[in-house]
Amino acid sequence: MSNEKEMSLEKATFGAGCFWGVEAAFRQLPGVVATRVGYTGGHVENPTYELVCSHTTGHAEAVEVTYDPERVSYDDLLDVFWTKHNPTTKNRQGLDIGSQYRSAIFFHSPEQEEAALRTRDELQEKLHWPKKIVTEIVPATKFYEAEDYHQQYLEKRGRSSCTAELAASNA
C-alpha cells in the first residue's frame, strides 16, 4: 500500500460486547482494510484478557477498524455498530455481563463525535424503545491490542458470527 493511500485511511473504535462477533461484522464491509480487537477506555496499561475480565481495569473489549473513507463512510460503520448489539443494556450484551462489555463509541475526531451523537439520537427517536440508549460516546484513548488468539477469532474457526459459533458448540 502506498504512503499516499495509507495517509487517507482512518480509524474508528467501537465497544459492543464480546469483540469476536463485532470484529467479524466489520471485516465483512468493503472498504474496511484492517481490524484488531483489544482493550480501551480504562486506566490500566497493557491489560490482559484475564485482567480486563477481573472488572478492575475500566477497559472495554473493543474493535479498532481501519477503513478507507472513499469506500465506506463512518456512518456505514455506525450502522453496523448500532445493529450489531443492544445499545440499551448497561454493561451487558446477551449472556456477557460486566463493564468490559459496555456499549461505547470511542471517537477519533470531532466529526466522528458529531456523527455518533446524531445517529444515536436518530435511532432513539426512530425505535421508540422503552429504554434509553446507554452507549458511551467518548474520546478514543490508548488502544491495547488483545492477545493473538483473540484476533479474527471467528474467521480462524470458519465462522462469521458468534451465533454460528454458539450453535456449533451446542451441536
For the stretch 90-119, pLDDT in tens is 998 888 889 999 999 999 999 999 999 999
Q: Residue 49 pLDDT more than 70? A: yes
Residue 160 counted as domain residue: yes
Whether residue 139 is contained in a domain is answered as: yes
- Among 3-7, 62-66, 85-89, 142-146, which range has the highest average pLDDT? 62-66
Q: How far is CA 79 from the centre of its chain?
A: 12
- Domain assignment present for residue 1? The answer is no
Establish if 132 belongs to a structural domain: yes
pLDDT (tens digit per residue) in 65-94: 999 999 999 999 999 999 989 999 999 888
**pLDDT above 80 (res 137):** yes
CATH of the domain at 53: 3.30.1060.10
pTM for the model stands at 0.85
Which residues lie below 8 Å from residue 80, measured CB to CB, with a gap of 6+?
25, 26, 29
User: Per 3-state DSSP, what percentage of the chain is helix, strand, and coil (rounded to 5)?
Assistant: 40, 25, 40
Please check whether residue 36 lies inside any domain of the structure: yes
- 2 inside domain: no
Which parts of 32-88 are beta strand (E)? Answer: 32-40, 60-67
**For all residues of the chain together, what is the average pLDDT?**
85
In a domain, 24, yes or no: yes
Distance separating alpha carbons of residues 94 and 122, to the nearest angstrom: 24
Calculate mean pLDDT across residues 19-29. Answer: 87
Active site members? 18
Total domain count for the chain? 1
Q: What confidence score (pLDDT) does residue 14 get?
A: 97
pLDDT of residue 3: 54
The parent domain of residue 158 ranges over: 7-170
- The answer to whether residue 33 sits within a structural domain is yes
